[in-house]
Structure 1
Amino acid sequence: MRAFSLVLLLALSLAVPASAEQDMLLGADMTALKMTRAELTRAEVEVLIAKAGGRPVDLSDRSLSGLDLSGLDLRGANLRTARLNNANLRGADLSGANLQQAWLLKADLRGAKLAGADMFGVTARGANFSGADLSKAKSIGDFKGADLSGATLVDLRGGADLKNQSMGLMRTVFTSANLSGTNLKGADLGRSRLEFADLTGADLTGVVLMGSDLSGANLTGTTVAGADFKNADVSGTRLLRLKGQDSVKGWDARINVERAIADNTN
């Protein structure tokens, strides 16, 4: 029943028009014990990992908020709909983990390994992913205000799937997120929300930004070689000292170009 309720909540909160604010917290009781307390201790989690005998541990729908899980081997773990708000996952190995619809509000994932993780529908507002590895992770979720500075997001799969919209148009939300110095080479961020995001010094080589909202974002000093900006909204976007601009795609098809803050060459 708990899992069903979370799925229903996600469906209701994501089934919104493209222009509306995607809000996964809509209607959620963030004061409930299942959202703020852990039902297991770290020692009990370690026992479950040991009992799994090298197989991915099943922690789906568990309340693990506030728990110290730093440095644990959670490769391939099933954490679907798990509550990990304010949890310490610093340096943990979550490579290939199932984090679908998991809650990671203000969680500490500094230096964590999340390569290939399925983060579809994750709610990670205010979480700290600085220095983490999210290469090839499926990131269609809410990272509003999150810190991803210096993180590796190579080949991140965050683009909206226009062919599968049974739950409405779901997009990756990086609104007001810190993406400075991140490696986003080859990432798909089509139709993502990047309003007021800090992308200074980031590597956007080959990144798909088609239809994304970059309003108010700061791209000063970013590398944009081969990136696709077709239909990207650049209203108030700082497009200064860009690198590799000569090979950008869709540059003439941006939206609100006259409102961007750009060099004379932009």
Structure 2
Amino acid sequence: MLFRLAFALVALTVLLVDPIDAVSQGMLSNVDLNSSEMSMAEMTRAEVEALLKAAPQDPAGQRSADLQGKRLSNLDLSGLDFSGSNLRLVKFNRTNLKGARFDHAILNQAWLIDADLTGASLVNASLLGTQMQRAKLGGADLNGARVTADLSGASLTGARLTGADLSADMRNQSMGLMRGVLKSADLRNADLSGARLSRADLEFAQLQNANLANCDLKQADLAGADLSNANLAGADFTGTDLASALLPSAAALEKASNLDKALNLNLARRHP
């Protein structure tokens, strides 16, 4: 009894300290995206630029601004350099971030729903628990990024995710399984070579002509995904769910690794 009471008090403390932690993946229906908190900005573009310019520099000359928790939705912040900045919990909903730089930035638990990050650079960025549903990331660079974000319905055509880590965080499951969620995402022509997608959710994702060479797909959900003409050389399909997935040619499949250990392979469709 005392143990259960102590556990409840710890859980309540977590919610009080950081209520956004309670908004786990799949709970977006409980959030009013039209509320002032989620749709309005408390700063202008000029004020954001000034804050970035005034941020302290490290020995290498890199400025690292602290914008944690700021409301910056519906702004035009295209082309700005947020590299190395603390952007945890920032609201960027429907914000124009075309060509912006977020290299090494912390975007944990940030909100980028319907944001436009076309051509943006997020190299080695941290995107833990980030909400990015329907975001536009065409041609974006996420090389080496750590991503347990919800990218359901997002557009990542031609995006670069080489060496990115979208695998499930098996050490921190107090608020549910945190992993890269790419349900119905558009990943056509994307480069995911060497990416870690273990246990990631790619259900119904569009992966036509995508490069999945040497990709870790162990226990990932690819049910209903379209893998037409995808490069699967060295991709590990151990425990991967392929129910109703559209697979590439037999020649491409021969280059995959552990395809015989995939789940529901008999229910997958074969590309002509």
Specify if TM > 0.5.
yes
Please say if 1:8 is aligned against 2:19. yes
Counting only pairs closer than 5 Å after superposition, residues 194-205 of structure 1 correspond to structure 2 as 194-205=202-213
Bigger strand fraction: 2
Deviations 1:37-94 (A, max 9, x none): 1100000001101111442111110000011111011111111000000001100111
Percent of paired sites with the same residue: 42
Partner of 1:79: 87
Correspondence for 1:28:
31
Report the RMSD for the aligned CA atoms in angstroms: 1.9
Residue of structure 2 equivalent to 1:187 = 195
Describe the SS at the equivalent of 2:147. Answer: coil
Structure 1 CA distance, aligned partners of 2:258 and 2:201? 18
Q: Distance in 2 between matches of 1:6 and 1:42?
A: 30
Counterpart contact for 2:165–2:197, Cα < 8 Å? yes
Match of 1:41 in 2: 44
In structure 2, distance between residues paired with 1:218 and 1:86: 28
Q: Distance in 2 between matches of 1:246 and 1:205?
A: 13
Query: Which residue is equivalent to 2:3?
Result: none
User: How far apart are the structure 2 equivalents of 1:6 and 1:205?
Assistant: 42
> Do 1:109 and 1:130's aligned partners in 2 also have CA atoms closer than 8 Å?
yes
Q: 1:111 to 1:4 in 2, by over 3 A?
A: farther
Deviation at 1:193, TM superposition (A): 0.8
Alignment match, 2:7? none
Q: Report the secondary structure of 2:131's partner residue.
A: coil
Q: Which runs of 5+ in 1 are unaligned?
A: 15-21
Deviates more, 1:51-60 or 1:92-101: 51-60
What is the DSSP-based 3-state SS (H/G/I as helix, E as strand, rest coil) of the residue aligned with 1:245?
helix
Q: Which residue of 1 is the match for residue 155 of structure 2?
A: 147
Q: Is the 8 A contact 2:109 2:127 kept in 1?
A: yes
Q: CA deviation at 1:248?
A: 1.9
- TM-fit CA distance, 1:7: 4.0
Q: Determine helix, strand or coil for the equivalent of 2:146.
A: coil
Listed as ranges, the matches of 1:59-138 within 5 Å are 59-138=67-146
Distance 1:198 1:7 in 2: 35
**Structure 2 unpaired stretches of 5+:** 1-13, 58-62
- Shift in Å at residue 24 of structure 1? 3.7
TM-score (norm 1): 0.90
How far 1:245 sits from its partner (Å)? 3.0
| Cα distance in 1 for residues equivalent to 2:169 and 2:33 | 29
The aligned amino acid for 1:30 is L
